[in-house]
A and B are shown apart, each in its own frame.
Chain A
Amino acid sequence: MTLNLCVLTPNRIVWDSEVKEIILSTNSGQIGVLPNHAPIATAVDIGILRIRFNDQWLTMALMGGFARIGNNEITVLVNDAEKSSDIDPQEAQQTLEIAEAGLRKAESKRQTIEANLALRRARTRVEVLNVIS
């Protein structure tokens, strides 16, 4: 059996093809999905998606969303997804520093919520680049 992965964001289809295996960061930790996985629905955290495709591991930064697995079809709905090859390392590092500074400066409850979200996004983008396969 083959496993089909479909990663959708509001403005485009990021990935739509057959894969061997994926590792998905869910709200309750990472899960690996192989063909013939039991049908589940799960929330996807801001984190890394690792895809085994043609015996190569690819990584992708997911900005939070939802995944549905069933019938050897994986549908991942996320706000934004970036392949590691599309991320500029310098820019990502800079964004991370800005986000860290933003969190330190945050005072009100609202600012903290915003800064935390920004920091997690920035950190994920940097982590995606530094993943050891």
Chain B
Amino acid sequence: MSCSNLTMWVSSSKPSFPDTSSLSSGSFINPFRAPSHNSTVVSPSRSSSVAPIHCGLRELRERIDSVKNTQKITEAMKLVAAAKVRRAQEAVVNGRPFSETLVEVLYNINEQLQTEDIDVPLIKVRPVKKVALVVVTGDRGLCGGFNNYVIKKAERRIAELKGLGVEYTIISVGKKGNSYFIRRPYIPVDRFIEGSTLPTAKEAQAIADDVFSLFVSEEVDKVELLYTKFVSLVKSDPVIHTLLPLSPKGEICDINGNCVDAAEDELFRLSTKEGKLTVERDVVRTETVQFSPILQFEQDPVQILDALLPLYLNSQILRALQESLASELAARMSAMSNASDNANELKKNLSTVYNRQRQAKITGEILEIVAGAEALV
């Protein structure tokens, strides 16, 4: 579609038209150019008053149609993301009985083990020589800066580790992260794991197995999990959690040593308020009921802890995957809603210009006819 030709065709009837066809054809290709690129190409959505759109009538109509189509797509993507957020939330709810019972049992067993000297491989704190970083990204783009934030955070952490003189390796989860690290061969990557539409226990298990064997075989001394924590539909933070060594108290610490109490579990709920989607977060404090004191341990408490901690590890990873997915969907929702808004505005501006030009053309034609008629008389 060549814009300049069409402009020529129009400008033949209106010689006063300044030739800015290159500008409009540039912005025509991508109406949703990010605002950061505005310095070179004027975004038609925002600055139509500053730099008027100069295009032929037919072209304008085509642009309006294409913007309409794009808007339909972004609108649909937004709705799909909203529906998926709900599904992601259901998955979290389904996992609740498990995590609640687990936390309860872990708490109780830990009480019993307080006095004993325990030696479980997963909680052994060794001097850190090498760190494994599990980076959880999304599988798809078109979700604003979601994937970028995670990768930036990973890069920062890598730089930090380098500064400390600690070796590192990456376990990348999600297609976007995979392609990023494949393009950068100087970053050591232990394994690429593809995510799926909905995180399952199997996926979490695959990651847990990898992490577990890395840690137990003493190839790495610390495992950190980098994922996006879901705060609300408009806010999500990339965070780093220390996954291994597990603290036997059933607590996980983030990088600053702040402990997140496992008994406190946040649940997000999508609801509608005055016709708009909102997110409510409930903080549920799991009640830790006392075990019956006559409870016997079939095996050594250490063995039982050995069986419980991998479960705990798994459920932590699964939870991180779920949160990451929820964040991705929320990010996509807001990105797509922005895109739809922009498309709306663009459509409005384009229609105004279109109508104005159409009117100008009609006026010009009438003038010509009148002038011709007058000349005849």
Question: Which residues of A are interface residues toward B (Cβ below 8 A)?
Answer: 8-13, 26-28, 31, 38-44, 63-66, 68, 70-71, 75, 77-80, 108-111, 113-114, 117
Q: Tell me what chain A mostly uses at the interface: helix, strand, loop, or mixed.
A: strand
Starting from the known contacts A10-B98, A39-B292, A40-B295, 4 additional A-B residue pairs (CB-CB under 8 Å) come to A26-B299, A41-B304, A79-B201, A109-B217
Q: B298 and A77: CB pair below 8 A? A: no
Knowing A11-B94, A79-B205, A114-B213, say if A71 contacts B292 (CB, 8 Å): yes
Q: B307 and A43: CB pair below 8 A? A: yes
Knowing A43-B306, A66-B105, A77-B102, say if A9 contacts B201 (CB, 8 Å): yes
Contacts of B299 in A (CB 8 A): 26-28, 42-43
Contacts of A75 in B (CB 8 A): 101
Q: B307 and A27: CB pair below 8 A? A: yes
Give the number of residues in B that approach A within 8 Å (Cβ atoms). Answer: 41
- B331: shortest Cβ distance to chain A, in Å? 23
Knowing A108-B217, A109-B217, say if A8 contacts B101 (CB, 8 Å): yes
Contact of A79 among B216, B297, B311 (CB under 8 A): B311
Contact of B109 among A26, A41, A109 (CB under 8 A): A41
Knowing A26-B299, A65-B307, A77-B102, say if A10 contacts B95 (CB, 8 Å): yes
Q: Could you mark each residue 99-116 of chain B with 1 if its beta carbon is under 8 Å from any beta carbon of chain A, else 0?
A: 101100100010000000
Nearest opposing residue in chain B for A117, CB measure: B209
Nearest opposing residue in chain A for B214, CB measure: A110
**A8 CA to B311 CA, complexed, in Å:** 11
Q: Could you mark each residue 183-196 of chain B with 1 if its beta carbon is under 8 Å from any beta carbon of chain A, else 0?
A: 00000000000000
Knowing A39-B292, A110-B217, say if A77 contacts B201 (CB, 8 Å): no
Q: A43 and B298: CB pair below 8 A? A: yes
Contact of A80 among B95, B201, B296, B306 (CB under 8 A): B201
Contacts of A26 in B (CB 8 A): 298-299
B155 interface residue (CB < 8 Å to A)? no
Contact of B314 among A10, A108, A110 (CB under 8 A): A10
